[in-house]
């Protein structure tokens, strides 16, 4: 089950940032002995692939920290992040790491299963992130965007490393994510309710909306 936890961790990481987990897998596979990718996934270690991923990461790193631009980026990433999550989970399910000695045992014969699982996990995380970000931007006047984005990048990088080196701790990260998203969604509902109430009061107090007497 360790390879499954590794895949879940990388897919969750991709939901926050599409390129960090793929870079982590590719760089560690190319330059260390911490992970050995199966033949069908060796392209992740290619120098050109790593260079392209680095450039894309830098672009998203900047775009995700600018209010309004981050929303456009999230729309684009609706396709990119789930795809990256599927690739990361697929690679991890067949990779040998310092904690997984016999990969492919869990998903043997069903190569499509980990890819689909990674897509679903990343899409769920991305959807939650994309729903919360506008609230952060509006409630903080845009100041909170770079702070939250940086925290997401750090979480994505940390989770990617943990998923490869100490996959058991992925469970702790997942619980933490659920708790964070639950708190933020409660704040989102409260913020929307307050905004609706405020609009209703403003409409009631607007003299232009008062009908003249007959």
Among the listed residues 201, 206, 183, the one whose alpha carbon sits nearest the alpha carbon of residue 136: 183
- 36 forms bridges with which residues in the sheet? 96
Rounded CA-CA distance 212/214 in Å is 7
What are 48's two structure tokens? Answer: 């050109």
User: What does the pLDDT read at residue 91?
Assistant: 82
What are 95's two structure tokens? Answer: 């990779």
pLDDT tens, residue order, the chain (214 aa): 677 888 889 999 999 999 999 999 999 989 988 888 877 788 889 999 999 999 999 999 999 888 888 888 889 999 999 999 998 888 877 766 655 555 555 555 566 778 888 899 999 999 988 888 877 777 777 777 888 889 889 999 999 999 888 888 888 888 888 887 787 777 777 766 776 776 666 565 655 555 555 5
DSSP 103: T
Domain boundaries, the chain: 2-170
User: What does the pLDDT read at residue 79?
Assistant: 92
User: What does the pLDDT read at residue 84?
Assistant: 93
User: What does the pLDDT read at residue 170?
Assistant: 86
Count CB-CB contacts under 10 A for residue 147: 12
Rounded CA-CA distance 182/13 in Å is 18
What are 163's two structure tokens? Answer: 């998923």
pTM (2 decimals)?
Answer: 0.79
């Amino acid at each position: 089950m360790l390879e499954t936890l590794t895949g879940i961790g990388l897919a969750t990481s991709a939901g926050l940032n599409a390129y960090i987990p793929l870079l982590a897998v590719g760089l560690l596979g190319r330059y260390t002995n911490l992970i050995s990718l199966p033949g069908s996934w060796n392209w992740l270690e290619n120098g050109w692939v790593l260079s392209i991923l680095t450039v894309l990461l830098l672009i998203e790193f900047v775009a995700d920290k600018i209010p309004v631009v981050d929303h456009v980026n999230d729309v684009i990433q609706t396709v990119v992040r789930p795809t990256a999550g599927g690739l990361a989970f697929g690679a991890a399910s067949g990779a040998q790491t310092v904690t997984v000695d016999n990969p492919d045992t869990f998903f043997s014969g069903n190569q499509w299963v980990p890819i689909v699982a990674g897509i679903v996990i990343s899409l769920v995380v991305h959807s939650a992130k994309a729903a919360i970000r506008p609230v952060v931007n509006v409630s903080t006047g845009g100041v909170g965007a770079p702070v939250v984005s940086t925290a997401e990048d750090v979480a994505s990088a940390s989770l990617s490393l943990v998923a490869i080196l100490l996959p058991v701790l992925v469970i702790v990260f997942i619980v933490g994510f659920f708790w964070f998203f639950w708190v933020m969604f409660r704040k989102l509902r409260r913020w929307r309710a307050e905004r609706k109430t405020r609009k209703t009061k403003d409409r009631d107090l607007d003299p232009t909306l008062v009908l003249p007497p007959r």
